[in-house]
Amino acid sequence: MNIVDRFLKYVSFCTTSDENTGLVPSTPGQMEFAKYLVEELKSIGLTDVSLDSNGYIMATLPATEDGHPVIGFIAHMDTSPDASGKHVKPRIVEKYNGEDIELSEGIVLSKDKYPEILRYKDQNIIVTDGKTLLGADDKAGIAEIVTAMEYLIQHPELKHGKVRVGFTPDEEIGCGADHFNVKAFGADWAYTMDGGAVGELEFENFNAAACKISVHGVNVHPGSAYHKMVNSMRIAYQLAVMLPRWETPEHTQGYEGFYHLIGMNGTVEETTLSYIIRDHDRARFESRKRELEHLVRKVNREFGDGTVEIEMRDQYYNMREKIEPVMHIIDLAKEAMESVGITPVVKPIRGGTDGARLSFEGLPCPNIFAGGENFHSRFEYLPIPSMEKAMQVIIKIIEKC
C-alpha cells in the first residue's frame, strides 16, 4: 500500500480523544484503530508486535547488521477534541492552483486567511470537506513511519540497526506518555513524527499545566434575590477578565507563553472554567500558575472562602534540558533532512508532544515534521510531497545512524 492510500485508510477511523471519560484509551475508536495497525505491522514484516490493554503499540524492525544504536519512531493515534474527527471525508486537490479551495458549499479554505498554502502551489494536497478535521495530526506521522518500515523491509540491501516503533493513544489530551513503557521500548533515543510543515525539527516545547476552576453560587428566584443570590457565572467572568488580555494564544507567538480558556460551562449555581497554561521558560511558567492561584484567593476574599476552588496539574515540561546533552541526535536529523533536499527549520514547539514527557523519563525524543498544516481545524490540509519527504527523512536517519 502506498503512503497516500495508507493515510486515507487511517483517517476513516474516528479516534477523537476525550479527557472526560476516565478511560484508557479514552475512546473506543482508538483501540479499534490500534487493532487494525497491529495486523498491518505484522503483515509488512515487523516483529515483536504488541498491543497492551491501554492501547499502546510497540514493534521492531530487526537489525540487518550489528554495531548500531537502537532508535525509535513514535506517533499518536488520537485526534484532537477541538474539531470533529468522525466521518472524515478527505479529497485530493491535484496540482493546487494557488486560489481559494471550496471544501464544500459555503466553506472555503482561503489563501488570504491561510497564506501558507501558497507554498504548496502545483502540489497535490489532501483536504477535508470543511466539516471535520483531517487527522494528519498524527495519522500522517503513523503513515510515514509504517511506510518507511515497509520500504526498509523490502530493501534489505540497506544496512541498519534495530529500530523500534511505538504508537500511543490520548496524546491530544496530554496522556500519551502516561502508560508508555520506556524500558520495554528499549531505544537509545527516538523521534516523534508529530510536527507541522515540512522541515520542522523541534527540541524545545512549552512547559504545560491544566487548570480547572469551580465557582459555587447560590440560586434563588430573581424577584427575591436581593442580597441572597450569588451568580457563579458573573463571578467566573470577573475572574476570567482579571487575566492579562494580551497573554492568550491569539496574541502570542514564538517563545511567548499564555493562558488559554478552553472551556466554560455554567449556571447561576455552578460554573467551571477550564484553562491550559503554557510557557517555554520554567520560571515564568511557575509564575503563571501562582498568578491564577492569587486571583482565586482575591475573588474568595470578596465573595467568601470556598466560593472559588482551583485544581491544577502539570502536564509536561520543556524537553530542551534533556536534549541538549545529546545534541548529536539533532545533528543526525538535520543531516537526514539535508540529504533529501530539505532545509531544516529548527524552532520551538508552541505545544507539546509525547516526546516531551518521554525525554524526562529517560528516552530523549525530539520532534520531526509530519507535513500537515492547520492542525486541530476544519481547514487542516496535508501536502502529499511533505508526507513523502517525512518518510524519506525516517529512512535516511536509520541509514545514517
What residues act catalytically?
78, 171
Instruction: Name the 3-class secondary structure at 394.
Output: helix
Tell me, letter by letter, the H, E, C secondary structure of 129-156: CCCCCCCHHHHHHHHHHHHHHHHHHHCC
**301 φ, ψ to 5°?**
-65, -30
Asked if 163 and 44 count as a contact pair (C-beta separation under 8 A), the reply is no
Question: Which own/partner contact pairs does 33-38 have at CB distance under 8 Å and 24+ positions apart?
Answer: 33/77, 34/77, 34/167, 34/169, 37/77, 37/142, 37/146, 37/167
Element (H, E) at 92: strand 91-93
With 0-12 CB in 10 A as exposed, 13-18 as middle and 19+ as buried, what is 127?
Answer: buried
Q: Return all residues near 271 (Cβ < 8 A) that are at least 6 apart.
A: 214, 215, 217, 232, 233, 235, 236, 264, 265
Distance of alpha carbon 254 from alpha carbon 214, whole angstroms: 31
Distance of alpha carbon 23 from alpha carbon 284, whole angstroms: 33
Distance of alpha carbon 390 from alpha carbon 122, whole angstroms: 19
24 C-beta neighbours (distance < 10 Å), count: 17
The set of cell numbers assigned to 225 is 434575590
Residue 202 vs residues 180, 254, 330: alpha-carbon distances, Å: 21, 13, 9
> How many residues does the structure list for the chain?
401
Give first-to-last CA distance, the chain, whole Å. 26
**101 φ, ψ to 5°?**
-110, 120
